[in-house]
Structure 1
Amino acid sequence: MHPDPVVPPKAAPGDRVAILSPSFAAPGFAPEVHEQAMRRLVEVTGLVPVEYPTTRRLGASAADRAADLNAAFADPRIRAVLATIGGEDQITVVPHLDPELVRADPKPFLGYSDNTNLLNWLWQQGVAGFYGGSTQVQLGPGPAVDDVQLASLRAALLTGGRLEVTEPGESEDFGKDWRDPLALSEYGDREPTEPWTWAGPARSVTGRTWGGCIEVVQWILTAGRFPPDPSVLEGGVLLLETSEELIPAQEFGWIARSLGERGLLAAVDAVVVARPPSTSFEVQRTPEERARWRAEQRDVAIETVQRYNPDAVVVVGMPFGHTRPQWILPYGGAVTVDAVERRVWADYS
């Protein structure tokens, strides 16, 4: 792993970008949402989306999905790669990828959740990416693209720059069922957000990011796809968030404790934990139960980090990951976590 990953050059309006399904082929399940996402991508960026054979193919093999990724990274006309969504088996795709292709022509990759696998793989090749922005979830559904998603999407793909990560003030855990026509015109149920919680010393930290969906981080470590020396994260910023599987706070704490035993928590200078989803189509909770769910994860996150690294700056509740509106954050790029001013900045350049 390169200590300073390369942040790939930006695209320009009119450039071609690959739209791929490295995990679940959501466009094959809900094509209307996908097609609205593609129209919006063109409208807000001026980029030209290019689909590949497995973008809409449900049940495509890991080898076929990897072949599409390799083809996109090898094509000099493709200037960025966007995942349609996550899933749960991308770990089987990674062994089929060609590292020489991404090293020869680094391109921005955007995705989250199961795409933690691919982002970690790119990071180990010395190429930075961006955590967030899956088209099927963040661009296609609802009446419009959220402001914070649009700002960070354009920064990641086109403009670069340094943006303050702000709180949009409302959040949803999931949207309308994609099979419902209202999914194209209405958001999910949104509620006001709580202020972020800060812990640790009052200092400002700037470091390169690593991490992602904590369940997938656990898989990556189990598969041995992380450098043996945790010092590669020295001075960095650890990003952690949880998926729609809604793991309880206790399980979050067990995984975080394992990261501590592995030496990863001691290596970083800051830990940023996202606002977690607390409900799903299958699991409904009252507002009070949702607030308690988030508070329990917040408390165990802070306690566990401070047990292994009392000098780390910790902020919990930021809007990235599996809730919406969603900020896209650098992965391998620089983020500043300022506990003095209680502000967070992301560098997309």
Structure 2
Amino acid sequence: MLYPRKLKQGDRVAVVSPSGGLPEVFPIPFDHGLRRLRDEFGLVTVETPTTRRMGATPEERAADITAAFADPSVQAIVAAIGGDDQITVIPHLDDEVIRRNPKPFFGYSDNTNLLAHLWRLGIVSYHGGSVMVQFGRGGAMHPITKASLRAAFFTSGPFELTESPEYGDVEQDWEDPEFVNGAPLMSECGGWIWHNADRVVEGATWGGNLEILHWMLAADRDIAAPEAYAGMVLIVETSEEMPSATEVFRMLRNLGERGILGRFAAVVCGRAKAWSFENGNGPEEKARYAREQREAILRALAVYAPEALVVFDVDFGHTDPQVVIPYGGLMRVDGPARKITVVY
């Protein structure tokens, strides 16, 4: 696996919308995120033709991604946001161009498609950091998110992940002009939850959003032979669509029946997002949803990977704050010390 070179102040960063041009619909958080990239990270942002255009075809979006990799003046690529149809974009990428011009790519959620594709091409990418959510957060960026993104952008070597004493999953109104000044609602939370934590596992990461992995499995898209995952660390998290515990179990069971789930030496699970505009759960409902999801994951692992080291409630998914995970890069999960270290 190749780690692309790191950024420096003044570098140009292409902002792409691989899953759809939501910046056209919600310009407030998008423009706020662009300002942060420029003012707080010292980077020059470059938009592609489809970045702010809803309805762009998969071919057009793929052309923008390929062009961003090919452009010698661009040093990194950041997704504006996720979506739900990036799986239709991946076949139209020019893999030879991407191989010849490896660059760090940042995104999560539906961008799991591109993260996994880059892994198949031998390029380390980064799970996390979309313009409209992490950079475009109302109020100030969360300090844990900001520190992780800064380290992933500009530094190499080990970075120890931080347990957050608070988290948020209540979404802000992106159409409210006062959005940029209002901090999101945060709640106290417990620390990471460990299972089979009597060992240390060090390996490359693979995974991402569980629902997208399930779609990729159905389409047989960027899924390797089971032996390719031996000794790796599976990272999984769920989205604002809030799949039921039953569905989470079934999706993992399918990975198990494919012969993949049992190959992982460790499984690191993102904190469950348990609120959306459609499901405005209160504290008790949130706690129940998260607990049932943990139980479903352990039930699947008991069948297919009973010896795996497991950590729950790590902040790398759809909740706030969000730490960046190198995708295909190294992660050390130290059970006795209760520490997780990644290599950026």
Q: Distance in 1 between matches of 2:99 and 2:205?
A: 19
SS of residue matched to 1:45: coil
Among residues 138, 142, 148, which one is paired with 2:144 in the alignment?
A: 148
Q: One-letter code of the match for 1:94? A: I
- Cα deviation, residue 262, structure 1: 1.3
Q: Distance in 2 between matches of 1:92 and 1:251?
A: 23
Within a 5 Å distance, the mapping from 1:129-140 to structure 2 comes to: 129-140=125-136
Deviations 1:104-162 (A, max 9, x none): 01100000000000011111111110001011011112111111211121122211231
Among residues 158, 172, 175, which one is paired with 2:171 in the alignment?
A: 175
Q: Distance in 2 between matches of 1:341 and 1:303?
A: 25
- Residue matched to 2:332: 336
- Residue matched to 1:15: 11
TM, length-normalised to structure 1? 0.96
Structure 2 unaligned segments of length 5 or more: list them: none
The more displaced of 81-90 and 141-150 is 141-150
The more displaced of 120-129 and 191-200 is 191-200
The answer to whether the aligner puts 1:300 opposite 2:296 as a matched pair is yes
Q: Distance in 1 between matches of 2:146 and 2:304?
A: 36
SS of residue matched to 2:178: helix
The answer to whether the aligner puts 1:316 opposite 2:312 as a matched pair is yes
SS of residue matched to 1:181: coil
- Residue matched to 1:80: 76
8 Å CA contact 1:175–1:183 kept in 2: the answer is no
SS of residue matched to 2:40: helix
- Residue matched to 1:90: 86
SS of residue matched to 2:75: strand
The more displaced of 23-32 and 11-20 is 23-32
- Residue matched to 1:52: 48
8 Å CA contact 1:143–1:186 kept in 2: the answer is yes
Q: Distance in 1 between matches of 2:157 and 2:32?
A: 28
Q: One-letter code of the match for 1:57? A: R
The answer to whether the aligner puts 1:29 opposite 2:25 as a matched pair is yes
The answer to whether the aligner puts 1:233 opposite 2:208 as a matched pair is no
- Cα deviation, residue 189, structure 1: 2.1
The answer to whether the aligner puts 1:200 opposite 2:186 as a matched pair is no
The answer to whether the aligner puts 1:119 opposite 2:118 as a matched pair is no
- Residue matched to 1:62: 58
Residues 175 and 201 of structure 1: is their aligned pair in 2 closer, same or farther, counting only changes over 3 Å?
closer
- Cα deviation, residue 228, structure 1: 4.7
Structure 1 unaligned segments of length 5 or more: list them: none
SS of residue matched to 1:198: strand
8 Å CA contact 2:217–2:223 kept in 1: the answer is no
- Cα deviation, residue 247, structure 1: 0.6
Q: Distance in 2 between matches of 1:188 and 1:282?
A: 18
- Cα deviation, residue 201, structure 1: 4.7
- Cα deviation, residue 285, structure 1: 1.5
Q: Distance in 1 between matches of 2:231 and 2:224?
A: 17
The more displaced of 226-235 and 32-41 is 226-235
- Cα deviation, residue 183, structure 1: 1.8
What is the number of equivalent residue pairs in this alignment?
A: 344
Q: Distance in 2 between matches of 1:314 and 1:67?
A: 39
SS of residue matched to 1:288: helix
- Cα deviation, residue 223, structure 1: 0.9
- Residue matched to 1:101: 97
- Cα deviation, residue 347, structure 1: 0.8
Deviations 1:277-303 (A, max 9, x none): 111011112211110110110111122
- Residue matched to 2:277: 281
- Cα deviation, residue 310, structure 1: 1.8
8 Å CA contact 1:34–1:135 kept in 2: the answer is yes
- Cα deviation, residue 174, structure 1: 3.5
Q: Distance in 1 between matches of 2:343 and 2:285?
A: 36
Deviations 1:44-82 (A, max 9, x none): 221111001100001111111111101100011111000
SS of residue matched to 2:310: strand
TM, length-normalised to structure 2? 0.97
8 Å CA contact 1:82–1:135 kept in 2: the answer is yes
SS of residue matched to 1:205: strand
